[in-house]
Structure 1
Amino acid sequence: MGGHIDLYLDVASLYSYIALIQAIKTQDLLKQHSVEINIHPFFLGAVNASSGNKPPWTLPAKAVYGVHDSQRSLRAVGLANVSPPGDLMQAGRTMVPLRALLYIKTHCPAATYLATWRALFHAFWTLHRPPITPETLGQTLAGIPAGTNAAGSSPPEVLGPGDGGERLFSAPEVAGILQAEKSAEYKNALRETTQRALDQGAFGAPWLWVTNAATGESEPFFGSDRWSHVYAFLGLPYRDVELLPPGAARGSEAKL
């Protein structure tokens, strides 16, 4: 057993949000199986353009179905009060927060990196304040409380300028992040990460590139509902969806 999971996400992707929650919930257990998971920001807009893919909500039939599918997927990971922030084409220009995440990943503890991902998703999908400009990103970063737990079931609290309490990032740290995301270094880093996923065959998000340490083989996986296939590829023990006999607990009461 053992291996590595590269998980590529974009803040503008709802199913990336779902995949993040799943990854956070299982990362410690994956470590017990000697599997490391590495979360990468990548720009979904460029992936769609390069692969010829289109957002599913631009196809009317998929848009109608997507309302049902997204709500089912959100319930499965305990997310509520989630909906698109208006014009997704405009909000999907997420280069600024993605470059900032690359900087935070390099310069901050892993817990801070994951907490920032969670806060950015919350700002985008629940507060409907897409952090896609330096100004809105700075406001989001400045409002994350210290001690925010990315693995918590409740969404992260957001503090306003007049609210008391310690913050995850100090004002100088926020300024440093905003300065870094404008640099050529992190513009290039985002291009390279996005291109690496494209070279693996990416056409959407979340995109997973999984390596089995025992065999040395790597394979791609797409979507937030492919974890059983990932575990099978890695040779991990897991319990799949199981139909129960009459009289057993049903629906959400049936814990697998």
Structure 2
Amino acid sequence: MPKIECYLDCVSPYSFHAFTYLQKNAEILKTHDVEIEYIPVFLGGINVSSGNKPPWTLSAKAVYAKYDGQRAQKYFGHSFGVPEWWPILSLLPQRALTYIKKTYPAKTAESFQSCFETMWYGQMDISKPENLVLALEKVFTATEVKEIVAAAATPEVKAELSATTEHVVRERGAFGVPWFWVVNGEGQGEPFFGSDRWHFMWGFLGLPFEDLNLKSRI
């Protein structure tokens, strides 16, 4: 069965863009029997393991990101500012999402949505427990939120997030997020990186789609 493994970290605005786009097209993908799996990973760990450097640590990338970020927001229908406290150390929310994926799998997408929106639209640092609680309370009961936050601090969940992060680097070739591992109907798998490679992905999956077409003024 065709499948899209989507590896995300809430610290990444491009992860938010990719998530939004996939959710928007989830029903169409379902008609083509394409499964979507959202998987939390730790971007900081991916950068260390792969040797990649975040855009804000390289001056040329940082300057370009100001333009590209606004273009991406316009394309994906978002409008938010980058908080002065960003980037965050995203271990806590990613560990919480790891536990949610394992324990409440049906609420994984909804939990990602709430975390993304709380941080980017709510302008709240969800690496702080009190803000993460506010994000999760939109999806879970107060008792469940307490359980999730407590579980995020356990050695088991910490180890699971670490293992998933190493897996996407070593086995899927990741050097950033959003990262995708896509399997087509013939069982072939390939990696895709970023929030702007959908036409390549749809082509690999053999899905019908309309590519960008430049129109004449005449």
Tell me the TM-score normalized by structure 2. 0.93
Q: Secondary structure at the match of 2:10?
A: coil
User: Identity rate of aligned residues, in percent?
Assistant: 42
Which of these two proteins has the greater Rg computed from alpha carbons? 1
Q: Which residue of 1 aligns with 2:84?
A: 86
Following superposition, the deviation at residue 109 of structure 1 comes to 5.4
The alignment status of 1:221 with 2:217, answered yes or no, reads: no
Q: Which residue of 1 aligns with 2:184?
A: 212
Once the two structures are superposed, residues 218-255 of structure 1 have per-residue CA deviations (whole angstroms, 9 ceiling, x without a partner) of 111100000110011111111111111225xxxxxxxx
Q: Which residue of 1 aligns with 2:32?
A: 33
Q: Distance in 2 between matches of 1:58 and 1:126?
A: 24
Following superposition, the deviation at residue 87 of structure 1 comes to 3.5
The alignment status of 1:66 with 2:61, answered yes or no, reads: no
- Segments of structure 2 that go 5 or more residues without pairing to the other structure are none
Q: Secondary structure at the match of 1:88?
A: coil
Tell me the TM-score normalized by structure 1. 0.80
Q: Distance in 2 between matches of 1:194 and 1:86?
A: 27
Q: Distance in 2 between matches of 1:34 and 1:46?
A: 32
Once the two structures are superposed, residues 163-201 of structure 1 have per-residue CA deviations (whole angstroms, 9 ceiling, x without a partner) of xxxxx3221111111111112221121112111110111
- Please list, as runs of the form range in 1=range in 2, the aligned pairs for 1:14-33 lying within 5 A after superposition: 14-33=13-32
Q: Which residue of 2 aligns with 1:194?
A: 165
Aligned residues: 217
Which is further off, 203-212 or 178-187?
178-187
Q: Distance in 2 between matches of 1:88 and 1:134?
A: 16
Q: Distance in 2 between matches of 1:95 and 1:135?
A: 15
The alignment status of 1:96 with 2:92, answered yes or no, reads: yes
Letter in 2 for 1:86: E
Q: Distance in 1 between matches of 2:105 and 2:58?
A: 40
Following superposition, the deviation at residue 10 of structure 1 comes to 0.3
Q: Distance in 2 between matches of 1:174 and 1:87?
A: 24
Q: Distance in 1 between matches of 2:150 and 2:85?
A: 27
Letter in 1 for 2:169: L
Q: Which residue of 2 aligns with 1:53?
A: 52
Following superposition, the deviation at residue 137 of structure 1 comes to 1.3
Q: Distance in 2 between matches of 1:4 and 1:77?
A: 22
Pick from 106, 109, 114: which aligns with 1:114? 109
RMSD: 1.5
Once the two structures are superposed, residues 33-68 of structure 1 have per-residue CA deviations (whole angstroms, 9 ceiling, x without a partner) of 111111100000000111111111222222222111
- Segments of structure 1 that go 5 or more residues without pairing to the other structure are 145-167, 248-256
Runs ≥4 residues deviating over 4 A: none
Q: Secondary structure at the match of 2:25?
A: helix
Structure with the higher fraction of residues in helix conformation: 2
| Larger RCO (CA within 8 A; separation ≥ 6) | 2
Letter in 2 for 1:219: E
Q: Distance in 2 between matches of 1:184 and 1:28?
A: 37
Following superposition, the deviation at residue 217 of structure 1 comes to 1.4
